Amino acid sequence: MRLLVLCLGLALSAEAARAEWTYDPAPLPAGEALGPGPGGLSLAVSCGNGGLPAVEVRGWEPPKGMEPLFVLSVDDGAEELIPGACLPGSARCLVSFETLDQAQGFVRALRRGSRADIGLYRNGMLGTVGLTGSDASIGRVGAGGCELD
């Protein structure tokens, strides 16, 4: 039974790694790039207030009253602990970077990397999002006037 669960988990991770990022021009002002992960988990990059980069974790809803502290890393790089601000009753959490440099650095890592790990501090992994196609999709958001670099 454990072997079956392990094989299923590996298959889902492999499937997430093969899925490609997409670009949707509809959200204003510059569209959004969306990277799919396992079980509906995804990362979205768009323009936030004033053309600054906004990163969202989607497909996961925190338990009532929980203020998530995300553990994010790209390609086994340094783990960053970053709080999230989640819309109540939804599966959308804005990653609340402390500085513009931190947000831009994370977006650069997403564009250059092969996978992003998303977890919760003291609560384990949520999943891994493959980064195939992220450079092109996020680049289109940047071309719309977002300060990604």
What CATH number is associated with residue 69? 2.60.40
> Number of folded domains in the chain?
1
Predicted local distance difference test score (pLDDT) of residue 18:
55
Shortest CA distance to 72 belongs to which of 36, 48, 43, 100?
Answer: 43
Residue 128 lies in a domain: yes
Identify the bridge partners of residue 92 per DSSP, sorted by sequence position.
58
Q: Model confidence over 105-140: pLDDT tens digits?
A: 999 999 999 999 999 999 999 999 999 999 999 999
Residues 45/141, Cβ–Cβ less than 8 Å = yes
Residue 149 lies in a domain: no
Residue 40 lies in a domain: yes
Residues 22/42, Cβ–Cβ less than 8 Å = no
Length of the chain: 149
> Residue 44: which domain range?
2-143
In angstroms, the CA 5 to CA 124 distance is: 17
Q: 128 is written with which tokens?
A: 């891994």
**Predicted TM-score of the model (pTM):** 0.84
